[in-house]
């Protein structure tokens, strides 16, 4: 992405501003152009400028990429995005509608559950893009004199970060409600990252969340030393329930989305080489006695992943909707991981 900015100087500013929490990491990136903890050996382009001051990173930004885990998207971050937008508009009274639009692209794979359930069992899920849209495009933020608008997109797909750090080829799906060509150009680099674009934001996002549930199921099989036949059966069943879930609880989900990189390709990559699968295998090897958070420290070196959180959210939503029986595979993954069901149940559910 950083190289795309320098390749299109007529469209983009040449620097990519990157917000990081720790000053020592910012110094490492800016001096050695590496991130030794997360992508050791990978060179970060010199036009990536790390900064611990979020307001400075957001200054004059037309495209904001949100890459923190969904549980860490705080109200303070959302406020900072709004404040940067407002300050730019206040500084330039001649800003027109097109140039005042800020595109916010979420990489976060997660959902939020509204746990206020009525007598009919009604509950709702909020996707990350929906939360960003609701928070950024509220009545207190829109200034009609400047036509302030935040367009929320998502970028998901089969692109494991360490392989991308080695400049290996990967793909992604950009879910953009306006299918904006400038946002597409930010990411699409045919040599290394081939991006397709759709306006099906919900479909792209549901695939990214639900693949985590399937990956834990595969991990439960790996932890029992089961082979490729079983893993393939788990992926097939999980893919079917993914499609059913997205179409049941999402609006205007496009069937084609399931066969883009964000769909079947990301599902396969996550199930065979994802961290959630490794974590679930370790969970079984430890007889379910080690908490998931502790396993993250032991297996992933402290890296925090959304996989097991998403399993819980999906189950709680299905339970509130009284729909667990419609999604037996998703339900079984939860019961193994959080309700002390035997890992052997991951095979038994395939027989139903």
186, two tokens: 């930010």
Catalytic residue among 82, 85, 109, 211: 211
Go through 19-54 and write b for each residue having 16 or more CB atoms within 10 A of its CB, e for each that does not.
bbeeeebbebbbeeebbeeebeebebeeebebbeeb
The dihedral built from the CA positions of residue 285, 286, 292 and 295, taken in this order, carries a sign that is negative
Cβ(25)–Cβ(18) below 8 Å: no
Q: Is 185 a catalytic residue?
A: no
- Other beta carbons within 10 Å of 165: 17
178, two tokens: 């306006």
3-state secondary structure of 325: helix
Residues in contact with 112: Cβ distance below 8 Å, sequence separation at least 6, in sequence order: 70, 125, 126, 127, 128, 131, 313
Rounded (5°) CA angle 174-37-128: 30
- Residues serving a catalytic function are 211
């Amino acid at each position: 992405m950083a190289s795309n900015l320098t390749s299109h100087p007529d469209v983009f500013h040449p620097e990519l501003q990157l917000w990081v929490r720790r000053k020592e990491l910012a110094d490492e990136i800016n001096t050695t152009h590496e991130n030794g903890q997360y992508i050791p050996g990978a060179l970060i382009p010199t036009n990536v400028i790390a900064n611990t001051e979020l307001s400075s990173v957001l200054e004059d930004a037309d495209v904001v990429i949100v890459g923190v885990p969904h549980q860490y998207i705080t109200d303070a971050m959302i406020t900072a995005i709004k404040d940067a937008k407002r300050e730019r508009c206040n500084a330039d009274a001649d800003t027109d509608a097109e140039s005042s639009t800020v595109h916010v692209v979420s990489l976060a794979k997660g959902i939020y559950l509204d746990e206020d359930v009525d007598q009919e069992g009604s509950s709702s899920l909020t996707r990350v893009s929906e939360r960003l849209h609701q928070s950024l495009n509220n009545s207190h933020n829109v200034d009609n004199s400047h036509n302030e608008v935040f367009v929320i997109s998502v970028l998901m797909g089969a692109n494991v970060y360490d392989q991308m750090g080695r400049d290996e080829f990967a793909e992604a799906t950009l879910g953009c409600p306006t299918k904006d060509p400038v946002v597409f150009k930010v990411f699409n680099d045919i040599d290394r990252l081939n991006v397709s674009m759709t306006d099906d934001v919900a479909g792209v996002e549901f695939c990214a969340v639900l693949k985590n549930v399937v990956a834990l199921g595969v991990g439960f099989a790996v932890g029992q030393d089961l082979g490729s036949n079983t893993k393939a059966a788990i992926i097939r069943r999980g893919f079917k329930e993914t499609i059913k879930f997205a179409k049941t609880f999402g609006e205007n989900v496009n069937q084609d989305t399931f066969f883009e990189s964000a769909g079947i390709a990301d599902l396969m990559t996550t199930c065979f080489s994802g961290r959630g699968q490794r974590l679930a295998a370790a969970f079984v090897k430890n007889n379910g006695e080690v908490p998931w958070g502790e396993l993250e420290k032991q297996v992933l070196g402290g890296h925090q992943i959304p996989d097991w959180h998403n399993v819980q959210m999906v189950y709680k939503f299905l339970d509130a909707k009284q729909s667990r029986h419609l999604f037996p595979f998703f339900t079984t993954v939860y019961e193994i991981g959080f309700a002390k069901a035997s890992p052997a149940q991951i095979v038994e559910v395939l027989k139903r």
